[in-house]
Chain A
């Protein structure tokens, strides 16, 4: 059973461009979480999705950021008009149930660099 797959592993964008980060959860997992890790900091929650639904986006910046988890295909975190402050590692995690009852499986992250 493959783990959580994130791609690309590294992404470089110029200011003003769009960044699309993809996450395929583990097979059988219907809960997806996105976290952001700034340099020398812990992970910060961004958004929690189930298939076709955003359950909690309280950690998402109000502008330029959006996330989806369609019925078919990977979850996508989209950042429009990127700025230097968006440079970070973005982690996706999945679980089959509420994470308190089952471990959260993380992907290897996508490191976004905005130049």
Chain B
């Protein structure tokens, strides 16, 4: 079944830890995106990729990094987590010239 998977769904960690948020998809889509969303606020694009070995920073500055080595996988890494990184992180995909993006279930990150 075509779907978007994000792991972990919830993560509570201490300051200074390195973390990787996983996003994988079986949608067969070429484009992938990472959004950050705080409660009551807009989704802000932090990274996107239009294909393998292609990554770009989004409109919201972020200390995270991403990689796109395989079409179906788009992990996001924080080298040293801080309380300001506490947020919900949503992964999305889209295909070809279609503008509709489909979202994964999200990861709720809390940094203590």
Q: Are A and B interaction partners?
A: no
